[in-house]
Amino acid sequence: MMAAGMDPRSSWSRTTPADLERSLFLPGAGGFLAVGAGGEALGCVGYRPDGEATLTLNKLATRPGARGQGVGRLLVREVEHVARMGGYERILLAVSQYNLDVLPFYRRLGYVRCDEPYAHAHPASPPPVVLVKEVRGEQTP
């Protein structure tokens, strides 16, 4: 994930293999998707249920050399598909204050800013920007 160029001050730098194991394998855990080429991961994204109506998207990253090729969009769309198939009403995500340059990317995909606090914010990090997208009833692009 850090190979994607994430700011080391973000919570990514505190993500451990044990954190990933918990997010993948505990009851009620979400999932983790990756897109690769030639045996190398080009991008990844995680997601987890947050109640009956919300699926939270997290840890989206693409390697710098793969940016602009639709890898991130593909990963987000796949999480949206998972949400629709799981009967979720919306997807919520948080953008680190150290990564605000990605806000236009999410806006283009239909995500809007909301004032809802992010339940998974790391106390050592500044409060993130929270975005949400309604997916119930939305057609798959």
Beta strands of the chain (E only): which ranges? 31-37, 40-50, 54-62, 90-95, 112-114, 129-134
- The structural architecture, per CATH, of the domain 2-134 is 3-Layer(aba) Sandwich (3.40)
More confident position, 5 or 113: 113
At 130, is the pLDDT very low, low, confident or very high (cuts 50, 70, 90)? very high
- In this prediction, residue 88 carries a pLDDT of 96
- In this prediction, residue 29 carries a pLDDT of 64
- Which tens digit of pLDDT belongs to each residue from 53-74? 999 998 888 888 888 889 999 9
Domain edges within the chain: 2-134
- Which tens digit of pLDDT belongs to each residue from 8-49? 555 555 667 776 666 666 666 677 766 777 778 888 888 999
Going edge to edge, which strands form the sheet with 129-134? Answer: 31-37, 40-50, 54-62, 90-95, 129-134, 112-114
